[in-house]
Amino acid sequence: MGKKLFKNLDLFIFDMDGLLFDTETIYVNYGKELAKEAGYIITDEIIEKTTGMTEENVEAVYIRELGKNFPYKELSGKVYKYIIEQAKNGSIPLMTGAEEILQYLHNNDKKMVLATSADSLMANTLIENKGLKKYFSHIITANDVTNGKPNPEVFLTAAEKAGISPEKSAVFEDSFNGIRAAHSAGMYPVMIPDKLQPTDEIKKLVHKKFDNLLEVIELKRLSQFTNMKVTC
């Protein structure tokens, strides 16, 4: 990541779905299953376009792509309810290295903010039931912003709440829209791909790509580039 990057950064912003939690698998698979039962096909292109967007913008894309009769609210409501139920009993798995990197940064007195396109209920239910809330100084959700990704508002709001400038901030993201938003915010976009590998466009915006969050600390890339101590 460059020797000076982590040494000079003061804020680490984390996306949630598909980065910390394996929720994208449920969203995609269960959503596709429900849509198919209703006579519709959700393509990977639609998934790529909508990942990271606010609910309102996601709905607009689905209606545009699948027609005005597509029962978006009904189907998304079913998916939302299912994920909330799974989140409440703690059965949604963390992504590889999620808790390890949060603990690592916490041990090294680094400030962290959660910035997600999910609403406040979903975000808090997920992180509280996995014991992750303690790591974040602030939690920014869809309820706190007007514009969803790729607009940078959610990340700029995170930096403002944390009292740290964008150029001193890194964003961990899995989605194309999240990377676009981080780049537009003037931050350091770090991509951990989930469902989609970066396109040529996204590669130009990404500062660094890792296969998973654990790789960031397993390969000692952070410890080599900073004065941090590895204690996790």
Active site residue 10: no
The one catalytic residue in 10, 17, 109, 144 is 17
Question: Can you point out the beta strands (E) in 15-123?
Answer: 111-115
Class of domain 3-21+94-225: alpha beta
Angle ∠(60,62,64) on CA atoms, nearest 5: 70
The one catalytic residue in 15, 22, 144, 211 is 15
CA distances from 190 to 147, 201, 207, 231 (A): 21, 15, 6, 22
- Which of 26, 32, 30 minimizes the C-alpha distance to 62? 32
Query: What tens-digit pLDDT sequence spans the chain (232 residues)?
Result: 444 556 679 999 999 999 999 998 888 899 999 999 999 999 989 988 888 788 888 999 999 999 999 999 999 999 999 999 999 998 999 999 999 999 999 998 999 999 999 999 999 999 999 999 999 999 999 999 999 999 999 999 999 999 999 999 999 999 999 999 999 999 999 999 987 899 999 999 999 999 999 998 875 554 444 444 444 3
pTM: predicted TM-score of the whole model, two decimal places? 0.86
Active site residue 17: yes
